[in-house]
Amino acid sequence: MQLIESLRWRYATKRFDENRRVSDADLKSLEEAVNLAATSFGLQPFRVVVVSDPELKEQLRTASYNQPQLTECSHVFVFAAMKKMPAEQIDRYMDRTAEVRGVPRDQLDDYANYMKGSVAGKSVESIEAWNKRQAYIGLGTLLAAAAELRIDTCPMEGFDAGEYDRLLGLTEKGLTATVIAPVGYRSEEDATQHKEKVRVPLEEMFTAR
């Protein structure tokens, strides 16, 4: 299985080759993969900012405790979760569903009301946490897709989310930075690539019942 080999190949890259850039075609493939990620109800309650501007990457590095991946990588994927799930967002999703599937919009009303009811029973905090979990599904899809293309990644939570929100203008969009992933190509000087991957045995991870 090629995916297994790709997952064995990938690791959390600590140092990137500053002279190598991800091609536009490969970048588009990564974006399409993230867009196809599974999410609850298919609502996709997060957005992704893809940063390549050197000056902005420097600012993000400062907001990431000066970790070098931010400026050495080709691009930084910033997964930003929606802070709320308003009824209007669900209606837009239903409108899009009707358009893509070619069905009358009113046939989707019962499903839309079911989703709205489900959301209405949650607190603001639990909705934001729920949305953040969906963003992590997108992150996982990105990591696997990048590995298939032999593009390196480094999932990271070590950053000042409030500063990211300010630098990227996320707050006014109802978003908050949740997790990031610099992408690019490993540096030959990154010693981490030579370390064996450490995972628990399969029999410890999985239980058959």
- Largest alpha-carbon pair distance within the chain? 59
Check residue 29 and give its pLDDT.
98
Q: Alpha-carbon distance 83 to 57, whole Å? A: 24
pLDDT > 70: percent of the chain: 100
* Domains, the chain, ordered by start: 2-85+134-205 (3.40.109.10)
pTM of this structure: 0.96
- pLDDT, tens only, 54-104: 999 999 999 999 999 999 999 999 999 999 999 999 999 999 999 999 999
The DSSP bridge partners found for residue 46 are 81
- pLDDT, tens only, 163-200: 999 999 999 999 999 999 999 999 999 999 999 999 99
Q: Alpha-carbon distance 121 to 28, whole Å? A: 37
Which amino acid is present at 183? Answer: V
- pLDDT, tens only, 38-56: 999 999 999 999 999 999 9
